[in-house]
């Protein structure tokens, strides 16, 4: 009876050990099965993966969906595509591989650093600074009227400590204060103006203080002489001398390019970029 009990006990122990060994091995085997699938999921799809799905008889739509939803790294050289075609990969799948390769997102690049714009320099333009200007276009006392604005151009740049504050070609503006055309009895025409301002490099308008005046050719002396001679030689027809009164003097004309010197009327500050 004791021998039977011992034999039965040994049989139970052996059976237990046999059952325990697989139970401890199963988690390890499961881990081995799961680990490759996780690694495969992290790897991008390649040509071999597409070929494997085709050989597994997956539908082309399913393969294309997988291509679109997965990271991929396909080889699309002519030789590689020819090999895929020879291996039975459908044309629509090959086209999806090409499209996915063409639309691969570009690698992110670092944005360039933001550089703050340089601060403008504040340059003082002192009162009395001279500048040369020229008439921008020809005007005549017969055309312009008092109150109209006329334009001049700066001929030479204005520099302060080597920094340009008024550029060549900058516009200077003047206002006509008097304008009269040539009149009877040889009276000459006249134009008078007051300079107003000039445009600096930063767009501000710097006040000017100068004035100008142009007078046309006068024929008054010549007319008077002719009237005296006519009256002395022909006393009976002296009234004819009055006809000389209809001779007009010349209009005042400022031709384009005529130069004048003007000056700044008060201290001004100009914002100049460092590159200027």
Question: pLDDT tens for residues 84-118?
Answer: 888 888 988 888 888 877 665 555 566 677 666 66
| pLDDT of the residue at 22 | 45
Does this model's pTM top 0.85?
Answer: no
Q: Which of 202, 207, 174 is nearest to 275 (CA)?
A: 202
pLDDT at 252: 87
| CA pair distance 254, 235, nearest whole angstrom | 42
234: which DSSP letter? -
User: Whole-angstrom Cα distance, residue 154 to residue 133?
Assistant: 4
Q: Provide the sign of the torsion angle of the four alpha carbons 137, 140, 144, 150, taken in this order.
A: positive
- Residues 6+ away with beta carbon under 8 Å from 101: 72, 74, 76
Closest CA to 99 of 67, 123, 135: 67
b/e per residue 76-89 (b: at least 16 CB within 10 A): eeeeebeebeeeeb
- Other C-beta atoms closer than 10 Å to the C-beta of 172 total 25
Q: What is the pLDDT of residue 193?
A: 92
Q: How high is the pLDDT of residue 176?
A: 94
**What does the pLDDT look like over 256-265, one tens digit per residue?**
999 999 999 9
- Res 68: pLDDT: 86
Strand 171-180 and strand 190-199: the pairing is antiparallel
pLDDT of 209 reads 84
Reduced to 3 states, what is the DSSP secondary structure of residue 27?
helix
pLDDT in tens, the chain (276 residues): 444 455 555 555 555 454 444 444 454 544 444 444 444 455 888 889 988 998 988 888 988 888 888 888 888 888 888 888 888 889 888 888 888 776 655 555 666 776 666 677 888 999 999 999 999 999 998 889 999 999 999 999 999 888 899 999 999 999 999 988 876 666 788 899 999 999 999 999 999 988 777 776 655 444 444 444 444 444 544 454 445 445 667 888 889 999 999 999 999 999 888 764
Check residue 95 and give its pLDDT.
86
Domains of the chain, first to last: 26-102 (no CATH), 121-272 (2.40.128.260)
E strand segments, the chain:
121-125, 130-135, 139-140, 149-154, 158-160, 163-166, 171-180, 190-199, 205-207, 211-215, 253-254, 259-263, 268-272
pLDDT of residue 111: 66
Give the pLDDT confidence score for residue 177 in this predicted structure.
93
């Amino acid at each position: 009876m004791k021998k039977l009990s011992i034999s039965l006990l040994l049989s139970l122990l052996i059976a237990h050990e046999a059952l325990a060994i697989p139970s401890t091995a199963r988690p390890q085997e499961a881990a081995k099965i799961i680990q490759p699938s996780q690694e495969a999921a992290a790897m991008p799809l390649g040509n071999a993966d597409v070929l494997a799905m085709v050989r597994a008889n997956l539908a082309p739509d399913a393969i294309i969906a997988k291509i679109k939803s997965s990271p991929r790294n396909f080889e699309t050289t002519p030789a590689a595509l020819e090999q895929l075609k020879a291996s039975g990969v459908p044309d629509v799948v090959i086209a999806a591989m090409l499209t996915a390769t063409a639309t691969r997102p570009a690698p992110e690049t670092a944005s360039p650093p933001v550089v703050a714009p340089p601060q403008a320099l504040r340059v003082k333009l002192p009162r009395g600074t001279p500048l040369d200007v020229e008439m921008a276009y020809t005007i005549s006392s017969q055309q312009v009227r008092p109150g109209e604005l006329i334009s001049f151009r700066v001929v030479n740049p204005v520099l302060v400590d080597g920094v340009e504050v008024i550029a060549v070609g900058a516009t200077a503006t003047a206002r006509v204060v008097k304008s009269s055309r040539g009149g009877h009895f040889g009276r000459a025409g006249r134009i008078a103006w007051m300079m107003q301002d000039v445009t600096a490099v930063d767009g501000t308008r710097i006040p000017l203080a100068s004035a100008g005046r142009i007078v046309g050719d006068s024929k008054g002396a010549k007319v008077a002489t002719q009237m005296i001679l006519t009256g002395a030689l022909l006393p009976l027809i002296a009234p004819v001398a009055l006809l000389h009164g209809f001779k007009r003097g010349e209009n005042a004309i400022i031709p384009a390019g005529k130069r004048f010197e003007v000056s700044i009327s008060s201290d001004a500050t100009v914002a100049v970029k460092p590159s200027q």
